């Protein structure tokens, strides 16, 4: 018989399968609402966190990042990568895992998949921000970029903010069709659109969640009326721009962590960084 390792050597592991089971057990909308309360509580103790801008390793086709933080009791880091070209090869753009450790002993306490968790967290943060910042009583959201994150963004805005309609647009019609199919049983009124401009008709909330490293302008100034709330998510590293600069110049801009946000969504041609609302950890 080979010797057994000490119990201290075991680190609980939450796989994608476990996480999916947990989401199904709790129910997606309940989980999103509970997460929103947790995240909001963490924002209220923001000063306490030991924060560092993410450590990024860029390549022509993507980025691999580590995101460490600590609240002085627990330490964690997330490994996350973003490769917009991946969907053409039937791979995911975003994949992540993370580790939680006890600060006092330094022992790892939990190793977890974070691909699903990232999706849930990002969706929840958009909806939580909208709860505080978006015009009251908005019923429709334009969802631009209908990839892996999008259906969760829609579900979170329904569960946490209270929208009843999503207007979908993606440069890839198959992505829109898939997102619409996945939302068919959600209780949302789902409207597939053929242009970004069309998707914004009657929408007081706009969420951009595109993946592209081409310095693209997905939303131009003339598309945006006054008083609209934008969750800009996809411009989360240099070259992944989404909003035209003029939109930013006439907006109130809310970000999670300025030192990190200034590194993201930066266009080659601009001296100033794009400041995005939801570029989180
Ligand atoms: N801010 C955050 O915290 C956070 C968290 C998760 C993901 N992200 C980012 O969000 C983006 C989307 O992630 P995903 O997992 O859904 O990726 P994905 O590749 O699954 O989906 C992206 C979609 O955007 C579409 N798209 C690309 N350019 C477009 C354009 N100009 N107009 C309309 N649609 C366009 C693509 O066709 C694709 O369907 C990525 O850039 C990712 O890095 C940010």
Cα atoms in the Cβ-side hemisphere of radius 13 Å centred on 6 = 2
Higher pLDDT, 235 or 203: 203
The token pair that represents 206 in the structure block: 């706009």
Of 63, 53, 209, nearest to 144 by C-alpha is 209
Contacts of 165 (CB under 8 A, 6+ apart): 139, 140, 141, 188, 189, 190, 191
pLDDT for 216: 83
pLDDT over threshold 60, residue 269: no
pLDDT for 128: 95
**pTM tops 0.75:** yes
Residues 91, 122 contacting (CB under 8 angstroms): no
pLDDT over threshold 90, residue 180: yes
Q: What is the DSSP letter of 221?
A: G
pLDDT for 277: 45
Higher pLDDT, 204 or 268: 204
State the DSSP H helix or E strand holding residue 123, giving kind and residue range, or none if neither. Answer: helix 115-133
How far, in Å, CA of 262 to CA of 253, rounded?
Answer: 13
Residue from 88, 93, 216 whose mutation best tests the ligand 1 pocket (most atoms within 8 A of CB): 93
> pLDDT tens across 109-139, in order?
999 999 999 999 999 999 999 999 999 999 9
* Percent of the chain as helix, strand, coil, to the nearest 5: 35, 25, 45
pLDDT for 112: 98
> pLDDT tens across 227-249, in order?
999 999 987 777 778 999 899 89
How far, in Å, CA of 276 to CA of 218, rounded?
Answer: 14
pLDDT for 264: 60
Q: Which atom of ligand 1 is nearest to the CA of 146?
A: 39
Helical packing angle, 16-26 and 28-44, nearest 10°: 100
pLDDT for 16: 98
pLDDT over threshold 90, residue 142: yes
CA of 202 to the centre of ligand 1 (A): 23
pLDDT for 155: 98
Q: What residues flank ligand 1, with Cβ below 6 Å?
A: 82, 84, 87, 93-94, 118, 122, 144-150, 170-172, 175, 209-212, 216, 218, 233-234, 236, 240, 278-280
224 phi and psi angles, rounded to 5 deg: -110, 120
Burial class (CB in 10 A: 0-12, 13-18, 19+), 50: exposed
State the DSSP H helix or E strand holding residue 229, giving kind and residue range, or none if neither. Answer: strand 229-232
pLDDT for 265: 53
How far, in Å, CA of 89 to CA of 6, rounded?
Answer: 42
Check if 221 is active-site: no
């Amino acid at each position: 018989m080979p010797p057994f390792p000490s119990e201290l050597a075991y680190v609980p592991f939450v796989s994608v399968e476990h996480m999916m089971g947990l989401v199904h057990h709790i129910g997606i909308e309940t989980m999103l609402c509970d997460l929103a309360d947790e995240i909001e509580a963490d924002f209220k103790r923001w000063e306490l966190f030991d924060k560092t801008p993410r450590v990024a390793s860029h390549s022509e086709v993507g980025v691999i990042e580590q995101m460490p933080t600590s609240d002085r009791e627990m330490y964690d880091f997330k490994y996350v990568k973003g490769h917009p070209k991946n969907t053409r090869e039937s791979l995911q753009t975003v994949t992540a895992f993370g580790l939680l450790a006890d600060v006092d002993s330094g022992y790892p306490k939990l190793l977890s998949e974070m691909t699903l968790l990232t999706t849930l967290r990002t969706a929840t943060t958009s909806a939580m921000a909208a709860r505080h910042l978006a015009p009251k009583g908005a019923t429709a959201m334009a969802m631009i970029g209908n990839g892996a994150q999008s259906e969760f963004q829609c579900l979170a805005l329904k569960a946490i903010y209270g929208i009843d309609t999503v207007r979908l647009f993606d440069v890839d019609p198959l992505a829109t069709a898939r997102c619409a199919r996945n939302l068919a049983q959600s209780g949302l009124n789902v409207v597939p659109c053929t242009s970004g401009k069309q998707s914004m008709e009657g929408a007081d909330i706009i969420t951009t969640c595109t993946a592209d490293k081409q310095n693209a302008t997905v939303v131009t100034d003339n598309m945006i009326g006054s008083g609209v709330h934008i969750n800009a998510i996809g411009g989360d590293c240099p070259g992944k721009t989404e909003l035209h600069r003029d939109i930013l110049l006439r907006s109130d801009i809310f970000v999670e962590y300025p030192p990190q946000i200034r590194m993201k969504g930066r266009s080659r041609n601009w001296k100033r960084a794009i400041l995005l609302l939801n570029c989180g950890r």
